[in-house]
């Protein structure tokens, strides 16, 4: 048995999986820790810590922050951002990869807050000379260590449940932005009511920030309804989803808009 509270300087002798489990235990106790602190605690290099954190972040257990990592805690019945991040994870991964491929080197893009759009950011690290505008702190943190990507964050009030910014300052900042493409998510796509959300504070000005509007959502949200209408289906220039989409839904959607089914 591995005792997390009695680890000695020879901790580098434990297996990679045990070390990551111990790191996760440490973060659950402290919420956040720096690379240097974790490296010293486990007597490994900061490069090893970075790799471990990357694996834990990829599974949705922690989030990378500049210089370290932290863990999200949820309260009451509300699901945390990171619990939502794991739902349909494989689908979101393929959607994120396909969407990121639509951004060419030298271009700019606006990226919505949300779990599917975060997967886009995860596939932008190899791009060159691109500018990203966002109100998502998760997107900012994902790209913070990437020198080839310039990230501009709007102002606003921090919202913990979605790890993003909201309020008048977001709308004001979006009104001054013009990029090549905007990527936005949704809670549902209804053939009757259009693109829908559960968030009453979802900024409508987001769609006006770019020449091309690209909706990204996993197949479980298609032919569904949510609480609030966000935009008409006709306002989407392109829809990126995954291969889990029902054949009839794909046929119907393709008659209305251009669709990319990510592999």
Q: Note whether 181 and 148 are within 8 A (CB).
A: no
In angstroms, the Cα distances linking 76 to 28, 162, 227 are 17, 15, 21
Tell me the residue length of the chain: 263
Q: Which of 237, 241, 199 is nearest to 220 (CA)?
A: 241
H/E stretch holding 41: helix 35-42
**Domains recognised in the chain with CATH numbers:** 4-70 (1.10.10.10), 82-262 (3.40.50.1360)
Look at residue 254 in the predicted model and tell me its pLDDT. 97
Look at residue 240 in the predicted model and tell me its pLDDT. 98
Q: Note whether 130 and 102 are within 8 A (CB).
A: no
Can you tell me the distance from the alpha carbon of 37 to that of 59, in angstroms, rounded to the nearest whole number?
22
Can you tell me the distance from the alpha carbon of 77 to that of 16, in angstroms, rounded to the nearest whole number?
33
Can you tell me the distance from the alpha carbon of 33 to that of 22, in angstroms, rounded to the nearest whole number?
13
Can you tell me the distance from the alpha carbon of 248 to that of 238, in angstroms, rounded to the nearest whole number?
18
H/E stretch holding 68: strand 68-70
Q: Which two tokens stand for residue 180?
A: 């090549």
Look at residue 6 in the predicted model and tell me its pLDDT. 37
Query: Could you identify the residue written with the tokens 């709007």?
Result: 154
Look at residue 89 in the predicted model and tell me its pLDDT. 77
Q: Note whether 204 and 235 are within 8 A (CB).
A: no
Predicted confidence pLDDT, tens digits, the chain (263 residues):
344 443 444 444 678 888 988 888 888 778 888 999 999 999 999 999 999 988 887 766 777 877 888 875 544 334 566 666 666 778 999 999 999 999 999 999 999 999 899 999 999 988 999 999 999 999 999 998 888 999 999 999 988 878 899 999 999 999 999 999 999 999 999 999 999 998 888 999 999 999 899 999 999 999 999 999 999 999 999 999 999 999 999 999 999 999 999 98
Q: Which two tokens stand for residue 191?
A: 């053939």
């Amino acid at each position: 048995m591995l005792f997390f509270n009695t680890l000695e300087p020879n901790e580098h002798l434990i297996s990679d999986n045990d070390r990551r489990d111990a790191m996760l235990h440490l973060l659950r106790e402290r919420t956040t820790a720096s690379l240097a602190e974790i490296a010293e605690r486990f007597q490994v290099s900061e490069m090893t810590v970075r790799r471990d954190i990357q694996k834990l972040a990829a599974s949705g257990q922690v989030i990378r922050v500049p210089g370290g990592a932290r863990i999200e805690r949820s309260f009451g019945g509300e699901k945390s951002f990171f619990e939502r991040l794991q739902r349909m994870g494989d689908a979101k991964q393929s959607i994120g990869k396909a969407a990121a491929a639509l951004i060419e080197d030298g271009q700019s893009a606006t990226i919505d807050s949300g779990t599917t759009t975060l997967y886009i950011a995860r596939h932008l690290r190899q791009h060159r000379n691109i500018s990203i505008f966002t109100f998502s702190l998760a997107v900012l943190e994902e790209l913070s260590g990437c020198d080839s990507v310039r990230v501009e964050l709007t102002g606003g009030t921090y919202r913990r449940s979605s790890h993003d910014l909201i309020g008048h300052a977001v709308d004001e900042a979006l009104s001054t932005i013009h990029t090549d493409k905007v990527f936005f998510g949704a809670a549902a796509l209804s053939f009757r009511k259009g693109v829908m959300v559960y968030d009453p504070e979802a900024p409508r000005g987001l769609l006006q920030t770019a020449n091309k509007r690209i909706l990204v959502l996993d197949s479980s949200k298609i032919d569904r309804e949510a609480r609030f209408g966000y935009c008409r289906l006709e306002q989407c220039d392109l829809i990126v989803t995954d291969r889990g989409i029902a054949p009839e839904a794909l046929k119907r959607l393709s008659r209305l808009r251009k669709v990319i089914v990510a592999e």
